Amino acid sequence: MERYDNNMTNVQNFRVKAWAPVQYYRDVVLPRLLEERVIRISPFANRLSFDVPPAVQRLRCLANYEALRFSNPILTTGETLVARMKERSASHGGKYVSVHLRFEEDMVAFSCCVFDGGEQEAKDMKEARERGWKGKFTKPGRTIRPGAIRLNGKCPLTPLEVGLMLRGMGFDKNTYIYLASGKIYNSEKYMAPLLEMFPNLLTKDMLALDKELDPFKNYSSRMAAIDYTVCLHSEVFVTTQGGNFPHFLMGHRRFLYGGHSKTIRPDKRKLALLFDNPKIGWKSFKRHMMNMRSHSDSKGFELKRPNDSVYSYPCPDCMCRVNRTEDSRSSSVT
C-alpha cells in the first residue's frame, strides 16, 4: 500500500460483475491481483455467487465474520458509543433496544408513499425524486399508487408508527432505545411523538461529542458503520425496512450469539391494515403486536434455507463452532 500512500481510494477500482462464479475470480481477478498486488472492488456486495464449493464458502465466512474490520477510528467511536449506551441503561442491566429507522427524505421520496398528504410534503417529495432520480418517476405511462404500495408493506414506517408498534409489543417508556438513522425527514414534526413515548431514546448525535463525529459527518457509509456497531451489541434489534444494513446485521448477530439473536422484523402488510383501521382499539392492537413479537422471538436457531443469503443466515455454513467465546463476540465487528 505504500505506493498508494496507504490510501485505498488511490487504488484503481476493479469492477466485478454481480454473482460472479468462482471460475471468474480464478481467470480474471486473480491474475490482476497477482500483477497489482492489491486491488479495490467496488461495488463490493453480492460479487460472488452463492453456488460455490464448501471450501470457498468457508473462506467467504472467514472473511465476512472474522477477517473484515472497520477502520480503527470507526471502531473506536462505535465501541465508545456502545459503552455509553450501556452506561446510560445501567438501571436495565446495560441492555438496550436498537431500532433501524429509514425515514430519511430520499427513502420517503423513493417509496412514493403519502404520509401527511400536505402540499409541502408533495412539493418536497417531487423535488427530492427529480434531484435523486431525474425523471424515473415521471416517465410516460408510469402510474404510482401510494395506497397499493402501503398495503403491500413497502412504505417506510414513520417514527410514530414505530413508537406505537414498540409500545404495543410491551416496551415501556423506560426502555432505552438506540435509534440508527440518517437525517429524518421533517424531524421536528415526525420525531416528537416517538420521543414522547420513549424519552430514553438516543442517537449517535446525542451520545457523541461533535468533535468525535466530525471526521465522519461527510461520509454516510462511515456514519452508518458507527450505527452498525452500536446495533450489533444491543439486546434487541428492530428492523423497519429492508436493505443490506439490517440483513448483514441480522446475520452478524446470529453468528456472534450462537445462531440466535433477538431480532424483531414486523409484518408491515399487517401493520398497514392495523394502522389504517379506525375501529381498532388499543387492547386489540396490543394483542396483535404481542403476537408479532412472539413470532420473532420464537424462531430460535434459524438455519439457512436453499434460497437464503449466508449473510443473513450464517448457520450452518459459517458456524461449525456454535458456542463462541465472549472474546470473539467483543472483538469481531463486521
Q: And the C-alpha cell for 189? A: 414534526
For the chain, the domain total comes to 2
Give the single-character DSSP code of 202: E
State residue 157's pLDDT score: 97
Q: Are residues 238 and 278 in the same domain?
A: yes
Give 140-165 pLDDT, tens digit per residue: 888 899 999 999 999 999 999 999 99
How many residues are present in the chain? Answer: 334
The Cα–Cα gap between 72 and 93 comes to 28
Nearest to 200 by CA among 102, 62, 85: 85
The Cα–Cα gap between 117 and 111 comes to 14
Task: Determine what percent of the chain falls in helix, strand and coil, rounding each to the nearest 5.
Answer: 50, 5, 45
**Residue 232: domain span:** 72-103+156-329
Q: Are residues 183 and 42 in the same domain?
A: no
The Cα–Cα gap between 244 and 228 comes to 11
Q: Is the pLDDT of residue 74 over 50?
A: yes
- Domain assignment present for residue 147? The answer is no
Q: Are residues 25 and 171 in the same domain?
A: no
Give 102-142 pLDDT, tens digit per residue: 999 999 999 999 998 789 999 999 999 999 998 899 888 88
Q: Are residues 13 and 85 in the same domain?
A: no
Burial of 219 (0-12, 13-18, 19+ CB in 10 A): exposed
Q: Is the pLDDT of residue 323 over 50?
A: no
Q: Are residues 263 and 308 in the same domain?
A: yes
The Cα–Cα gap between 22 and 59 comes to 12
- Domain assignment present for residue 149? The answer is no
Q: Is the pLDDT of residue 27 over 90?
A: yes
State residue 259's pLDDT score: 72
Give 75-102 pLDDT, tens digit per residue: 999 999 999 999 999 999 999 999 999 9
Q: Cβ(126)–Cβ(208) under 8 Å?
A: no
The Cα–Cα gap between 179 and 233 comes to 13
Q: Is the pLDDT of residue 308 over 50?
A: yes
- Domain assignment present for residue 268? The answer is yes
Q: Are residues 313 and 282 in the same domain?
A: yes
- Domain assignment present for residue 59? The answer is no
Q: Cβ(168)–Cβ(267) under 8 Å?
A: no
Q: Is the peptide bond before 199 cis (omega within 30 degrees of 0)?
A: no
More confident residue, 194 or 331: 194
State residue 104's pLDDT score: 96
Task: Record the pTM.
Answer: 0.88
Cβ within 8 Å of residue 298, ≥6 positions away: none
More confident residue, 259 or 37: 37
Q: And the C-alpha cell for 44? A: 463490493
- Domain assignment present for residue 173? The answer is yes
- Domain assignment present for residue 62? The answer is no
- DSSP string of 53-83, one letter each residue: -HHHHHHHHHIIIII----HHHHHHHHHHHH
Q: Where are the alpha helices (DSSP H) in the chain?
A: 22-24, 30-36, 54-62, 72-88, 105-111, 119-133, 146-151, 159-168, 187-197, 204-207, 210-213, 220-232, 244-256, 268-275, 282-297, 326-331
Q: Are residues 273 and 238 in the same domain?
A: yes
Q: Are residues 168 and 22 in the same domain?
A: no
State residue 333's pLDDT score: 43
Q: Are residues 201 and 256 in the same domain?
A: yes
The Cα–Cα gap between 104 and 69 comes to 27
Q: Cβ(80)–Cβ(230) under 8 Å?
A: no
Q: Are residues 84 and 14 in the same domain?
A: no
Average pLDDT, the chain: 90
Going across the sheet that includes 177-180, the strands are 201-202, 177-180, 97-100, 236-239, 262-264
Q: Are residues 169 and 309 in the same domain?
A: yes
- Domain assignment present for residue 33? The answer is yes
Q: Are residues 234 and 88 in the same domain?
A: yes
Q: Which residues pair with 100 in a beta bridge?
A: 180, 239
Give 220-247 pLDDT, tens digit per residue: 999 999 999 999 999 999 999 988 999 9
Q: Cβ(165)–Cβ(140) under 8 Å?
A: no
Give 274-301 pLDDT, tens digit per residue: 999 999 999 999 999 999 998 876 555 6
Q: Using alpha carbons, list the distances in angstroms from residue 181 to 122, 146, 202, 225.
A: 22, 23, 11, 11
- Domain assignment present for residue 265? The answer is yes
pLDDT grade, residue 46 (50/70/90)? confident
Burial of 91 (0-12, 13-18, 19+ CB in 10 A): exposed
State residue 334's pLDDT score: 39
- The enclosing domain of 309 has a CATH number of 3.40.50
